[in-house]
Amino acid sequence: MAHRAFAGTLAGMAMLVATSATGVVPATVASAPHLTYRHVAHPTAVRMRDSHGSSRNRTQAAPFFAPSRSSPASAPRREGVVPTTQLSGTRVTGFPVMDLHRQETLYPTDQASQPPDTQLAAGPTSLAEADNDTFSVWSKEGAFLASADLNTFFSVPPTYDFSDPRLLYDRESARWFLTGLAFDKLHNSQNYIAVSETSDPTGIWDKYLLTTGAALVRDQPMTGVDTDKVVVSWNDFSGSPPNPPTFTGQETYVLQKSDLLAGHGAQVAVFGPDTTRFRVVPALTLTAGTTTEWLVYNEAPCASGCGPGISAFGVVAITGTPQAADVAWTESDLNFTKTNTPPDPRQPSGVAVTSTVSERFLSAVWQSGSLWLSGNDACMPAGDSSTRSCLRLVEVATGVSPSVGHDFDVGSNGIDLYFPAVMVDPGGNLFVAYTKSSPSIYPTAAAVISGAASPASFMTELIMAAGQASYLFAPSNRWGDYSAAAPDPTDPSRIWVTAEYQASAADPADWGTATAELTLPIRNSVTQAGGSTPPSRGPVNQVPPASPPPR
């Protein structure tokens, strides 16, 4: 394996800018996909910390599936630039969590997967992280406590690989929820959900087999929860090698939450398969007593071929429960400035960090009538002459008639930003985790915060872990597919943000993850993950204020 030593310090931080999009236009009401009711069999109980790895050959990379695509459009038009503001004395507590080397030490013959698909959530007393293919538990001070091999935990078939974990802690029920899929080289697959029996992530979990498929991969399951239901959504791709998989529809499972909490067989309502929607993302619901689960998806509708350049996105409200057999899908398709596929993120080696950064939405969170969502986009930051990989953030005011509130890109002159995760605190302040890199910056875990009064005015960028080398994990060099952001249930004003970085100067394939607890105002002490001195930052450049984004 090639080695590359860390050379020099990172360049001073370039200014992050928020780019607003077009104004609000009336929504289109879309019809619901086909609905059926089913039942998921009784779960199997298993202790998470007793799940150890087995000796099996592993694939290096999870598949990246996408539907047929239309031709890329031009970069989105900038409507105005909102400057960042200098926040004196910004401090952040951060520490490294899982990385490839630790995985291989824990389970020497059962890991070596890329990308990590990072997920992290906070419970009352500890943090839990799910990656391809490891579940790990950490103290809130950064001590490693326990781990499990997810292939063993979910009892995946011998030739299958676990992938695409989604992990959340539900404060209302005091339970953990974990979903994912397993697949083989023939594109057979299984999908799972596991629910902890207590708030202790190292304790007993009830695990359910949701689906099985022959020559059918139900890809990238995304998960959300509200008071009375758990929603899991994925994309279907069918076909056997050597033929490439073909997008055959999107499915959404609505599970009776009370059944899952009781450890019973679960009643479920199923929407789809439906070919007019792609990559539907359920939201994490933060407001207790909420019985509407909100979901979002980009490029609505995609019946003529999903792809960049469609100037609308879908906002879905799911109400009712499978138990009452009254589950309903109510969708509004809202117009906004179209998103575009970003360029491949650059790094000092000249080899792209990844070639799979798409414009899909990646995370969503709902609180008190406000739905925030995040994803990748292409934009041209202020002062730049080239299109960069940027972060897209959109707020939807939900209600009888959903409407776009805020809609902007976050970009940095000469720097690529990618794979954002968004979260809000009880005051409506915005927290975003992501990775950044450039020809002079190794892949680095970063975060920004903005106040509720002006979401598009970001404070000084915070570095959780500086990259140690250019990333190279042949042959596919995958990164992502997610970052993570989650509230602390003991104090929801404390937000845990997690992103990926290149963790080893000695091994370019060593992806790492780092997490930090953030608050506004920021009140903690600096701990630099990755074992290096934080780079010199320099002042934040200021530009004349422009008109704020539409409200």
Please give the C-alpha separations between residue 324 and each of 261, 319, 320, 512, in angstroms, as whole numbers.
17, 11, 7, 45
- What is the predicted pLDDT for the residue at 474? 83
- 315 CB-near residues (< 8 Å, 6+ apart): 27, 294, 295, 296, 331, 332, 333, 334, 371, 396, 398, 402
**pLDDT score of 530 more than 80:** no
- 202 CB-near residues (< 8 Å, 6+ apart): 47, 48, 49, 137, 145, 146
In the predicted model, what is the mean pLDDT of residues 360-373? Answer: 97
> Mean pLDDT across the chain, nearest whole number?
83
- 505 CB-near residues (< 8 Å, 6+ apart): 4, 5, 6, 468, 469
Peptide bond into 26 cis (omega under 30): no
CATH number, domain of 236, equals: 2.130.10
Give tens-digit pLDDT for 35-71: 989 998 988 888 887 555 444 433 445 555 555 443 3
218 within some domain: yes
- What is the predicted pLDDT for the residue at 81? 33
Give tens-digit pLDDT for 390-439: 999 999 999 889 999 999 999 999 999 999 999 999 999 999 999 999 99
289 within some domain: yes
Closest CA to 431 of 461, 475, 386, 390: 461
Query: In Å, how far from its chain's centre is CA 119?
Result: 7
57 within some domain: no
Strand partners, 179: 166, 193
pLDDT band at 492 (very low <50, low <70, confident <90, very high): very high
Number of domains in the chain: 1
pLDDT band at 548 (very low <50, low <70, confident <90, very high): very low
- What is the predicted pLDDT for the residue at 356? 77
Closest CA to 121 of 423, 394, 478: 423
**pLDDT score of 142 more than 50:** yes
**pLDDT score of 450 more than 60:** yes
pLDDT band at 300 (very low <50, low <70, confident <90, very high): confident
Count CA within 13 A, CB hemisphere, residue 368. 6
The residue among 528 and 348 whose pLDDT is bigger is 348
65 within some domain: no
- What is the predicted pLDDT for the residue at 307? 60
Contact (CB, 8 A) for 99 and 114: no
Q: Is 109 left (phi over 0), alpha (psi -120 to 50) or beta?
A: alpha
Token output for 67: 């539907």
Domain encompassing residue 350: 16-50+73-518
- What is the predicted pLDDT for the residue at 92? 61
63 within some domain: no
**pLDDT score of 293 more than 70:** yes
Give tens-digit pLDDT for 144-164: 999 999 999 999 999 999 999
Please give the C-alpha separations between residue 225 and each of 176, 290, 364, 470, in angstroms, as whole numbers.
11, 10, 11, 37
Closest CA to 365 of 396, 343, 319: 396
Rounded Cα gap, residues 483 and 154, in angstroms: 23
235 within some domain: yes
- 453 CB-near residues (< 8 Å, 6+ apart): none
Of the listed ranges 7-16, 128-137, 243-252, 337-346, the least confidently predicted one is 7-16
pLDDT band at 72 (very low <50, low <70, confident <90, very high): very low
Of the listed ranges 36-45, 77-86, 474-483, the least confidently predicted one is 77-86
506 within some domain: yes
537 within some domain: no
Structure-token match 């992806």, residue found: 511
In the predicted model, what is the mean pLDDT of residues 249-255? Answer: 96
